[in-house]
Structure 1
Amino acid sequence: MNTSPATDVEGKIAIVTGAASGIGRAIAELLHARGAKVVAEDINPDVERLAGPGIVPLVADVSKEDSAQKAVALAVETFGRLDILVNNAARIMSKLVVDMTREDWDAIMSVNVTGAFLHSREAMKAMIPNRSGAIVNIASYAAYFAFPQIAAYTASKGALVQLTRTLALEAIEHGIRVNAVGSGDVVTNIWAGKMDNGSEFLADHGRKAPIGRAARAEEIAEVVAFLASDRASFMVGSVVMADGGMSVKIG
């Protein structure tokens, strides 16, 4: 393998969902810095701030079928093809199951799972003729461990892991690799509007990991860039844990 991290996605065309801030923005910026052209998608209009040579923003709701179609069409029409899809968009809420409405449940699942399904399906259609591509899903150690009051989120991340594994088996015969990152606590604004001082909460919770801290978004982006690159050419259906050791900790 003659590539280096600085050039490992050079010339690739990528879609990154949830790209307006946090992990998604870090991924979009890192892929672009390493030579990829990027469609940056988010429901938040702030994603338009990323616009520039080689980065095209798309304001869209990832849970909608036509959003996935628009994102893939935009990548192909603007840059000629699609090589990488990063399903990062996610939502979270804090409610006991007995207090949760059907609408609450659907709101989380529609973004975290259905959005990934729709974008993966449409991306596959564009990638299959080229017999190459990489899909990276942003999962969580919460796919394997339960926490009170975030049942919809943990269920969605568990489903995303199983979608990753199943799609990996279907995709590899077409030369497309599907993997996931099991992210730990990352200091982002995912709790914005849902709790006060959400970033501080994530930073504090991250200190419970063996590494003793939460991650920076850029640290997760590095793992994504690797999985999306040819340097990870033998990785199929993997869930790479980047959680500071949280998933191997007992007690």
Structure 2
Amino acid sequence: MQGINEVEGKVAIVTGAASGIGRAITELLVARGARVIAEDIDPAVLAMESPSVVPLVADIAAEGSAEKAVALAMDRFSRLDLLVNNAGIIINKLVVDMSRDDWERIMNVNVTGAFLHSREAVKAMIPQRSGAIVNVASYASYFAFPTIAAYTASKAALAQLTRTLALEAIGHGIRVNAVGSGDVLTNILNTVAPDGNGVAALAAHGKSAPIGRAADPEEIAEVVLFLASERASFMVGSVVMADGGMSVKVGS
């Protein structure tokens, strides 16, 4: 496998690209020679525009957003090689306190958005008989925690979407895999942390992992890049755990 230059010349879509893991993935892809459609509901994504980054402000779960992202890749770069379904949200409520709107918003962003983007990406990749999809799952895909039932259910669904789509897509030369991330220093908990400091909450919880800390977004981005590259050419339907050993600890 020596001599493979990872993703140079590839075209990618990254959802949730404006901050955290998504921004780290986008920056790493660009640094390694890829061009990226950076999609996010946050208009801050517009500031990422460059010759290699085309920003798109969109709600990934909204009707037509996936089609728009793929069409933008084809219009600007004439192909689509990679999709990273990274966007995700979390709500911190007991099941008895959770509204249907709470539940559906989590599922729409974390699962339906990934489904819609994967469906449209595969359609674009089939004619070229190549491509890769990487989903950002979690150790919460496998383990339950009080107050985040919708999040854990959504990440479990994402893991199963990964496996099932992998079987359907590999015959077209398209690989589908996921990374099961642990606690990562991002702003995902800002709206649920009592003091609004989600990064501090994640840093504190990360200390309970065997590695003794939370991850930097760049560490998860490296795993995503590996799964997206030809270095992972024999990986199909895998959920690669990058959680500092949290799943090993929880499962013991």
Report the TM-score, using the length of structure 2 for normalisation.
0.97
Question: Which residue in the other structure is 1:106 paired with?
Answer: 104
Query: What does the per-residue CA deviation read over 1:52-84, in whole Å, with 9 as the maximum and x for residues that have no partner?
Result: 011000000000131000000000110010000
Q: What residue is the counterpart of 2:237 in the other structure? A: 237
- Alignment partner of 1:179: what SS? strand
Q: 2:176 aligns with which of 175, 178, 189?
A: 178
Q: 2:197: which partner in 1?
A: 197
Structure 1 counterpart of 2:55: 57
> 1:1-251 counterparts in 2 under 5 A?
1-3=1-3, 7-195=5-193, 196-250=196-250
1:131 counterpart letter in structure 2: R
SS at match of 2:55: strand
**1:69-109 CA distance string (max 9 Å, x none):** 00000001100100000000000010000000100000100
Q: Following the alignment from structure 1 to structure 2, what is the Cα–Cα distance between the partners of residues 173 and 134?
A: 13
Q: Which amino acid aligns with 1:52?
A: S
Residue 191 (structure 1) shift: 1.4
Residue ranges of structure 1 left out of the alignment (5+ in a row): none
User: What's the offset of the Cα at 1:194?
Assistant: 2.7
1:3 offset after TM fit, Å?
Answer: 3.2
Cα shift at 1:247: 0.4
Report deviation, 1:198.
Answer: 1.1
Q: Which amino acid aligns with 2:97?
A: D
Native 8 Å contact 1:39 1:75 kept in 2: yes
Q: Normalized against structure 1, the TM-score is what? A: 0.98
Rounded Cα–Cα distance in structure 2 between residues aligned with 1:36 and 1:3: 17
CA distance in structure 1 between the partners assigned to 2:23 and 2:218 by the alignment: 9
Query: For residues 194-219 of structure 1, what are the alpha-carbon distances to aligned partners after superposition, in whole Å with 9 as ceiling and x for unaligned?
Result: 32221100000001000000000000
Q: Work out the CA distance in 2 between the residues paired with 1:11 and 1:120.
A: 21
Deviations, residues 18-67 of structure 1 (Å, cap 9, x unaligned): 00000000000000100000000000000111100110000000001310
Moved more, 193-202 or 157-166: 193-202
Unaligned runs of 5+ in 2: none
Q: CA deviation at 1:192?
A: 2.1
Equivalent AA in structure 1 for residue 21 of structure 2: I
Partners of 1:58 and 1:191 in 2: CA distance: 24
Say how many residue pairs are matched: 249
- Which one-letter code corresponds to 1:220 in the other structure? I
Counterparts of 1:165 and 1:35 in 2: how far apart (Å)?
Answer: 28
Q: Secondary structure at the match of 1:178?
A: strand
CA distance in 2, matches of 1:174, 1:2: 25
